[in-house]
Every structure is written in structure tokens, then in C-alpha cells.
Amino acid sequence: MNPPHDGFARRPLPAGLVTALGELLGDRFTTSQAVRDHHGRDESAFPPAPPDAVAFPESTAEVAEIVRRCAAHGVPMIPFGAGTSLEGHVLAVHGGVAIDLARMNRVLAVHPDDLDATVEAGVTRLALNAALRDSGLFFPIDPGADATLGGMAATRASGTNAVRYGTMRENVLALTVVLASGEVVRTGTRARKSAAGYDLTRLFVGSEGTLGIITELTVRLHPQPEALAAAVCRFPSVRAAVETVIRTIQLGIPVARCELLDAATIGAINRHAKLALAEAATVFFEFHGSPAAVKEQAETVQAVAADAGGAGFEWATTPEARTRLWTARHQAYFACLGLRPNCRVVSTDVCVPISRLADCIAATEEDVAATRARIVARSPAAGLPVTLLGHIGDGNFHLGINVDTANPVEVEEAERLNERLVARAIAMGGTSTGEHGIGLGKLDFLEAEHGSAVAVMRALKTALDPQGLLNPGKVLRAT
């Protein structure tokens, strides 16, 4: 898993910058190897690429000052949240200064009547929900990891609740952003909607730190549902599960979550989380609403599922049982990681129109089987455990490809498998990445997916970051 090489030559950090940032931040600026190492990796399989230094600002003004000084010295800057990105977003492949926003972790305002909150970028989603506990509101976006909201906005994250509540795209009202010049802009207001000018909020959401550094966010909140119900249903096939979800959505049932897990994933989480689910294609459902609405939704979905051969609707009625279920779901990544020792998990992320989802998964399962056979033929000691799970209501699914990075045959075959998967998804009208982002890992796929529109993206990058110092090499290849 080598990050794409773009011929960049790293140069040491200018001494003047080190002095200036040390004076500005004191011991909140460091070149310590341990801290740099910590900021040089994420949850991807890419080899680490530590920055030359790490800054820990505590305010937007400090971020702006750091940016001005780095810009004056022509030094790259990499915003850093929780380090849970999956495509090498935070790797300092061009060197430079990591700007760690973890200390900007204040919830600045909660407006219960308006269903919004303004937070600093380093607040994590669990911290925000803890702060909201007594408000009757919650923040739904849930990428699994306890990522920072700044990082989630930067990668346009989503997760299990997106089918009902949308992604970061729909749930960010406004941002405070430090531009490449060090200037600070506010991209919107607390108004629910606006037609005032270009949509800068949506431009920065998903820009992966390459157009500006997000330091504050105003996000939408949602009422905690009066009632919740979660259920597990197993299906005779992935296709039957997908048909059930298509029908559910066509009926206008506002299902809150519907997560597909294949038999291998169920097996892995059974072992990891000490569950005893039947090892079959399974959908985890969750319904939110009034008690009567939840009951009606659940009954309707149960009937639809039964039509498709779904069986064993098992209800998790207590909060504890529900939490146990979703915790197991969220630990699927680690469950996959636990399938073999000393391996890494490559997580794919295509998203297709839901009518093509069953076809896409079927073709991919065949491809996985053929790939595994090829690997074993070339390298008999190897394997290639693959788990599959999907945010099925959105048409988004992930393979967890368990790769022995010491085995070049596995590494190469896993890369080719992902490339074919992306090509398949794009051919079906889909995208290379539903929620993980481009980072370093999908630069070629961006071209394949967007064609000439990549030139538009490049024009925007040049307009907003003419020196190319903001997280260089991510989203677009550095020039």
C-alpha cells in the first residue's frame, strides 16, 4: 500500500518558522518524534508519513496565525482531527506542520429551539452527544469512529444513520474556515436555508483540508426519537435483503438505519463481540418515531421482509440490547482485523444507485472468490478474508479486505480487486467513495469518476490555495 508518488522532495522545516511557532505556542508546538509519529498515520493501510512538527492551537486566531507563518515560509499544513481517516488524509507526504485541532473542543452554543449547535472543530461526535444528553436532541451522523466534527465535515462523513438523517453535507449549516492566506471566513448563518450567494459551506465540506482549515461548525441537531426499536433479520441472499430495503424506501418508510452484513461479517462479529447470530446475509434495522409510528414502520418492514424470504426478525427492545447490537456493528472493522494476526484491513467504499446494489455486490462476490483462488494458487500460505457490510439504504457498501501487508501477492491482488470494484461502481452510475473520501488512496479514481470536472476542482484549488500548501497531494495530485 504505497501512497501515490508525485515526485515531491521533502525539505527540512525552516528554522525561522520553528522559532516563530515556538514563540507563538510554547509547548503546544513540538518536533518530538513520538508526537510526529502519532500524527503521521491514520486507519488506512498506507505506511506512515509523519509531519515535521505538530501544532496544537486553542483558537481560530491561533490557527490563522499558524497558517500565516507557514504560508510565509511556503511550508505545507495538514489539519489533524482524531486520525481516524481511511484514505491517508492526514499523512504528511509532503512534510510540513500538522495542525492538531483536538484542543479546540468546546461546545460553543446549543440552541434547542433552533435545533442547532456551534462547536469547535475538535469536538468529537460522542462528546457533542454527551453535551446534548439533557436537551432532548442529538447529532445523528455516525461514521463508527469517534471522529472530530471538523474531520467529519472535511471528509463529508456519513455512516449508519444517513438513510434518514443525511450526511455531513446536509447537517452542516455554516463553518468558520481559515483560508490559505490566514484570513478567517464564516461560510453561512444559522438560517435553515439560504439563497445568498455561492454555497461555500458545501464547498468546504468534503474538501479534506485542501481548501481551508475548518475551525468551527454550526450543525443541525435532531429531536431524540420518542421511541426506538432495533431488529435483526436474516435473508436467504444479499439480493433478497436489498429488495426488501428498496421496497421499504419506495413505501416512504423513514427507516433510521438499515445495515447489511454478509455471513462472513456476522461470523467475525459473533467471534469478536460474543454474539450468536445466524451466519447469513443479515440486515440490522432501526426505527425512530412515536411509539405508534415505530410499531407501524416495524410491522410494515417485517411484512416486506417476509415477502422476500426474510426470517427471524429478532427485536432488541432494551437500550442495552440495542447498544450491544450497534456496538457489534461498529466493531466490524476490528472484528475483520481480528480474523488474522498482523494484518491490515483495506476498506473499500463504493456507493451505487440502490437498484444496482444487488448486482454490484453479486459481481463483487464473484470477483472476491476468483481473487482468493488466484492468491492461493500463487501463494499457497496466503488467504484473503473479506467481509462485506453496507449502508444499504444509501447504496453504499464496504468490503473489509484483510491483507497481510508482508505478502506482496495479497497486497497487489487487494489493490486490483478494489480497482475493479470502483470501475464496476462507476459503470453502474455510482461513486468510488460514498463516505471515506479521496485522500491519497483514490486520486486515480477521482479522475475516472469525474473526468473533465477534475479540471474544475483544480481551478478551485488554485484559486483558494495558489501556493498549494493546504494538505498537498490529497483530493488532487500536487503539481
Over the window 346 to 385, marking each residue x when it contacts its own copies by CB under 8 A and - when it does not, the resulting string is ---x-xxxxx------------------------------
Contact call for residue 16 and its own copies (CB under 8 A)? no
φ and ψ at residue 57, rounded to 5 degrees: -70, 155
Contact call for residue 116 and its own copies (CB under 8 A)? yes
Smallest gap from residue 40 Cβ to its own copies (A): 22
Contact call for residue 124 and its own copies (CB under 8 A)? no
Cα distance between residue 55 and residue 66, in whole Å:
8
Smallest gap from residue 378 Cβ to its own copies (A): 32
Over the window 74 to 113, marking each residue x when it contacts its own copies by CB under 8 A and - when it does not, the resulting string is -------------------------------------xxx
Looking at 28, 41, 106, 202, which residue binds its own copies (CB under 8 A)? 202
425-444 residues in contact with its own copies (CB under 8 A) are 425-426, 429-438, 442
Q: Which is nearer to its own copies, 102 or 163 (CB)?
A: 163
310-339 residues in contact with its own copies (CB under 8 A) are none
Per CB under 8 A, the segment of 5-13, 30-38, 156-164, 314-322 that binds its own copies is 156-164
270-289 residues in contact with its own copies (CB under 8 A) are 288-289
Strand 53-55 to 97-100 pairing: parallel
Contact call for residue 167 and its own copies (CB under 8 A)? yes
Smallest gap from residue 350 Cβ to its own copies (A): 8
Looking at 129, 187, 215, 471, which residue binds its own copies (CB under 8 A)? 187
Looking at 178, 229, 414, 446, which residue binds its own copies (CB under 8 A)? 446
By CB under 8 A, how many residues form the interface with its own copies? 99
Q: Which is nearer to its own copies, 349 or 404 (CB)?
A: 349
Cα distance between residue 398 and residue 371, in whole Å:
17
Q: Which is nearer to its own copies, 231 or 438 (CB)?
A: 438
452-471 residues in contact with its own copies (CB under 8 A) are 452-457, 459-464
Q: Which is nearer to its own copies, 99 or 152 (CB)?
A: 152
Cα distance between residue 455 and residue 435, in whole Å:
22
